[in-house]
């Protein structure tokens, strides 16, 4: 078997023997320390790692990597966030007042708030359990060497002084110093902004949050937990969050204006009822509270949280980890999805289908070279793994130097001592990178690529492996033809995106012709017109023009992927990026929504908002559908809640202007809110909804809520004034209130009937059930007494119905006029 050069028998590499003291203690040899990242204390690099006793001792001292959990906020935070809200505080004060001055019926609104808060807490705790369970499944498990044995452990089990092994795609989870390095290149751009990978040597600093792009090695942990550099930066950002959500931002904006609108209106109502009318104190307080409470859209925030939480639970059942809740909403708004071919359209594994020696090369010798190349890499990628399986190493060649694969340079290499005193250097990688343009071998490569096959070129180099132009003058030796395994569900998923007007862009580091052939097999429109990214313009607008015109791009570097995402965003697109490899990290981070496969590298899973733990690309339509359900349904129910707010504020203003008693007690509006908003909104918020997500949430909600609220307030107040005139002298305020309540209920039901469209059997049944419930209240004597509703005579009740019918006609006209005048 090949003796690998990267580690000696005790785990250290050439020149990596401990120095600086009898125990191998070393000092940081890095640059000048900076205030935010001081130089670490002397560190002892132990090739065998810590012993079990030392690990136990450090755990007892608390020197453990106790980082915050990203997937969800704590139970205390959930309870606090649902209980201690601005509107709960207002309603709580009003509830206490009503307990003192009014009968039990007028305190029902407070119990509704308790029920709403309890539902919100329960649903969010359910979502928390789902998220935490999925986070454990998808958690990165670093390889730690202890007692000379390498084993995977949870990130939270790392202790100070642990020796942590790294390979391509691995994320650096704690701070430390390099103990072993074999061509290890680390990308620190997520922390420093520097795009170029950094070649690490022994005793160089490793910062948590960076990741390995090539090579491998090991480092000793010097800072763990909240002391680590990235943990200090990311602790707040990595928690459960509802930021960057148009829904949440829009609702917050609406609630802010509602609050400012409530204050003067409520003050005017209080003065009107207590001072101007000189009514009894308890009655005035009750009617004042009855006017203030319905101004508050208290259930809107609850239903938004519940809709998000249930979305998380539904997606969790499909092994989809939503690391940031707005990702559900965000993916529903996406109009461009950028796909990495390998691991997304194709499965991770590959098969070698053919070996073609070039220029008379000896095939058995080529097989030996390929087998030894495979053994020279301790962490082979999918292509090299296929070569290892096809050409097992069987000779005692010794690898004296190796060059790990990098997605930036597109090749790997190694230098071998062949046992007879001869030494040779070999490179394996992309033919169009290793060969000059016009080389005869490229024609054969193109023909293979057109069939969707992946082709690697083996060349014998004439220069030193560490030379930047090592590929210059290399002699082509063989073509290795690999077949990629297409994901069986990829074609259906691409078809779904096309039907939903979401443009798919395949951007891959592989040969453009080969990528186009794979995309063509999956039925992607425009797959035949491929673009080699090496010829793409660097200027953003010019690049965006090319991206809009084409669908398949090959030979894309990691930095270009990032630039392409930025160019699309610059054109106003909402971009999702999928990927599983380390070369996708920068683009995933910059995209509006990053989607990683569960089998992807630690780095991709760390920066993505959505992780498909089942590695199924077909899960994405479910995420889109869930986002559309949340957005569409919350838009519906928000219209209901804000229509109530508008008509409540206008009624209060009309009462103040006309100097009359407020027509309703809290019990009346509790009944109306429950039947026309509360119960229907709960069902509508959780119903299936495939409407395409549209922007401008606040504008779309208010364009219906304002005319609906105006019509409801006007018709109700007209009925109330007519009832006051009709029943004048009888002193029957209850009869006047009952007539106004009937009109308001019918108009609010009409709003509900419009919101419930398009009708299905259960929506019709829902609206009918709410109407039936109100009818029961009107005809059952004890319910009449409980809610203080008594329709007197026939003239005024039928007048109330007629006014409501006129209001319904006005609603229909207003809805249609708004659709034409202010299209969404």
Q: If you write DSSP's letter for every residue of 377-392 in order, what string do you get? A: -SS--HHHHHHHHHS-
In angstroms, rounded to a whole number, what is the distance separating the alpha carbons of residues 572 and 565? 11
β 552-554/530-532 pair status: parallel
Cis peptide before 653 (omega within 30 of 0): no
Residue in the block written with tokens 């009014």: 102
Whether 420 contacts 427, CB under 8 Å: no
Helix (H, G, I), strand (E, B) or coil at 485: strand
Read off the tokens for 705: 């809520």
Angle, in degrees to the nearest 10, between helices 246-271 and 86-101 = 30
Which among 668, 669, 708 is positioned nearest to 807, based on CA atoms? 708
Of 406, 461, 397, nearest to 430 by C-alpha is 406
At 778, is the secondary structure helix, strand, or coil? helix
Q: Are 638 and 709 in contact (CB under 8 A)?
A: no
Q: Order of strands, edge to edge, in the sheet holding 423-429?
A: 346-357, 475-486, 454-461, 423-429, 411-417, 398-406
Distance CA 568, CA 228 (A): 35
Measured between alpha carbons, how far is 407 from 434 in angstroms, rounded to an integer? 14
Q: How far is Cα 109 from Cα 313, in angstroms, rounded to an integer?
A: 30
How far is Cα of residue 183 from the mean position of the Cα atoms in its chain?
34
SS3 701: helix
Beta carbons of 397 and 2 less than 8 angstroms apart: yes
Burial call 167-196: b when 16+ CB within 10 Å, e when fewer? bbbbbbbbbbbbbbbbbbbbbbbbbeeeee
Phi, psi of 326 (to 5 degrees): -60, -15
Q: Cβ of 703: how many Cβ atoms within 10 Å?
A: 20
d(CA 508, CA 578): 11
| Residue 563 C-beta-side C-alpha neighbours within 13 Å | 18
Judge whether 552 and 526 are in contact, CB under 8 Å.
yes
For 263-357, strand residue ranges (E) read 320-322, 336-339, 346-357
- Tokens representing residue 546 in the block: 């090319």
| Cα 92 from Cα 109, distance rounded (Å) | 10
10 Å Cβ neighbour count for 104? 11
3-class SS of residue 90: helix
Q: Which of 16, 203, 204, 340 is catalytic?
A: 340
340 flagged as catalytic: yes
The sign of the torsion formed by the CA atoms of 451, 454, 460, 463 equals positive
Burial-class residue 28 by CB neighbours within 10 Å (0-12, 13-18, 19+): middle
CB 711 within 8 A of CB 746: no
Query: Which two structure tokens, joined as six digits, stand for 532?
Result: 């080699």
- State how far the Cα of 595 lies from the Cα of 626, in Å rounded to an integer: 15
Residues in the chain, total: 824
User: What sign does the CA torsion over 275, 658, 794, 707 have?
Assistant: negative
Spatial separation of the C-alpha atoms in residues 269 and 732, rounded to whole Å? 22
**Please, are residues 220 and 175 in contact by the beta-carbon 8 Å criterion?**
no
Please identify every residue annotated as catalytic.
340
């Amino acid at each position: 078997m090949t003796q690998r050069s990267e580690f000696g028998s005790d785990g250290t590499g050439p020149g990596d023997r401990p120095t600086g003291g009898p125990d191998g203690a070393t000092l940081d040899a890095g640059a000048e320390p900076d205030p935010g990242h001081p130089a670490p204390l002397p560190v002892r690099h132990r090739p065998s790692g810590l012993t079990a006793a030392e690990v136990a001792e450090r755990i007892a001292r608390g020197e453990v990597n106790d980082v915050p959990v990203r997937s969800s906020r704590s139970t205390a935070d959930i309870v606090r966030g649902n209980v201690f809200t601005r509107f709960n505080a207002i309603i709580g004060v009003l509830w206490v007042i009503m307990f003192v001055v009014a009968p039990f019926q007028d305190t029902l609104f407070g119990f509704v708030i308790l029920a709403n808060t309890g539902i919100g807490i329960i649903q969010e705790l359910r979502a928390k359990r789902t998220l935490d369970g999925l986070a454990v499944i998808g958690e990165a498990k670093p390889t730690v060497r202890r007692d000379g044995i390498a084993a995977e452990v949870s990130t939270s089990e790392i202790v100070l002084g642990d020796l942590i092994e790294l390979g391509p795609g691995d994320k650096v989870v704690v701070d430390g110093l390099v103990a072993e390095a074999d061509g290890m290149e680390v990308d620190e751009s997520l922390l420093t902004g520097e795009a170029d990978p950094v070649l690490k040597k022994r005793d160089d600093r490793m910062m948590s949050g960076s990741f390995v792009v090539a090579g491998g090695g090991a480092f000793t942990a010097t800072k763990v937990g909240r002391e680590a550099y990235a943990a200090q930066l990311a602790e707040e950002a990595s928690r459960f969050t509802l930021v960057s959500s148009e829904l949440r931002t829009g609702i917050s904006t609406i609630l802010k204006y509602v609050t400012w609108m409530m204050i003067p209106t409520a003050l005017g109502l209080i003065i009107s009822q207590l001072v101007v009318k000189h009514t009894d104190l308890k009655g005035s307080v009750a009617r004042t509270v009855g006017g203030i409470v319905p101004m508050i859209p208290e259930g809107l925030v609850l239903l938004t949280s519940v809709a998000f939480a249930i979305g998380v639970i539904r997606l969790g059942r499909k092994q989809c980890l939503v690391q940031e809740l707005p990702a559900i909403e965000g993916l529903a708004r996406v109009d461009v999805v950028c796909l990495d071919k390998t691991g997304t359209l194709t499965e991770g594994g590959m098969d070698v289908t053919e070996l073609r020696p070039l220029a008379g090369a000896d095939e058995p010798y080529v097989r030996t070279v390929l087998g030894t190349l495979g053994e020279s890499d301790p962490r082979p990628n999918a292509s090299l793994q296929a070569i290892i399986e096809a050409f097992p190493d069987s000779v005692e060649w010794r690898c004296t130097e190796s060059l790990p694969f990098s997605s930036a340079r597109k090749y790997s290499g190694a230098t071998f001592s062949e046992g007879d005193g001869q030494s040779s250097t070999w490179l394996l990688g992309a033919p169009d990178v290793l060969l000059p343009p016009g080389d005869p071998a490229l024609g054969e490569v193109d023909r293979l690529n057109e069939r969707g096959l992946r082709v690697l070129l083996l060349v014998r180099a004439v220069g030193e492996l560490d030379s930047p132009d090592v590929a210059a003058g290399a002699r082509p030796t063989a073509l290795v033809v690999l077949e990629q395994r297409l994901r069986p569900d990829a074609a259906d998923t691409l078809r779904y995106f096309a039907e939903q007007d979401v443009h798919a862009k395949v951007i891959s580091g592989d040969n453009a012709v080969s990528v186009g052939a794979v995309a063509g097999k999956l039925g992607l429109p425009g797959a035949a017109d491929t673009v080699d990214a090496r010829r793409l313009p660097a200027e953003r607008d010019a690049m965006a023009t090319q991206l809009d015109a084409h669908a398949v791009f090959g030979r894309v570097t990691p930095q270009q992927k990032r630039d392409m995402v930025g160019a699309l965003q610059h054109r106003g697109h909402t971009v999702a990026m999928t990927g599983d490899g380390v070369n996708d990290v920068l683009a995933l981070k910059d995209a509006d929504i990053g989607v990683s496969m569960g089998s992807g590298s630690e780095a991709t899973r760390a920066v993505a908002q959505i992780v498909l733990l089942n590695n199924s690309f077909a899960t994405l339509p479910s995420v889109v559908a869930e986002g559309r359900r949340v957005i569409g349904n919350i838009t519906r129910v928000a219209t209901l809640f804000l229509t109530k707010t508008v008509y409540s504020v206008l009624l209060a203003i009309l009462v103040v202007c006309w100097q009359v008693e407020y027509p309703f007690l809290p019990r009346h509006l509790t009944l109306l809110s429950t039947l026309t908003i509360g119960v229907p909104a709960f069902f509508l918020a959780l119903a299936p909804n495939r409407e395409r997500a549209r922007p401008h949430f606040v504008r779309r909600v208010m364009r219906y809520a304002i005319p609906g609220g105006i019509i409801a307030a006007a018709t109700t107040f007209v009925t109330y004034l007519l009832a006051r005139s009709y029943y004048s002298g009888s002193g029957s305020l209850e009869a006047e209130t009952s007539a106004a309540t009937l009109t308001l209920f019918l108009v609010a039901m009409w709003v509900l009937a419009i919101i419930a469209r398009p009708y299905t059997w259960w929506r019709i049944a829902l609206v009918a059930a709410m109407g039936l419930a109100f009818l029961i209240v009107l005809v059952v004597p004890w319910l009449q007494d409980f809610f203080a509703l008594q329709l007197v005579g026939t003239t005024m009740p039928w007048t109330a119905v007629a006014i409501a019918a006129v209001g319904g006609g006005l609603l229909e006209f207003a809805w249609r006029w708004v659709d034409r005048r202010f299209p969404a």
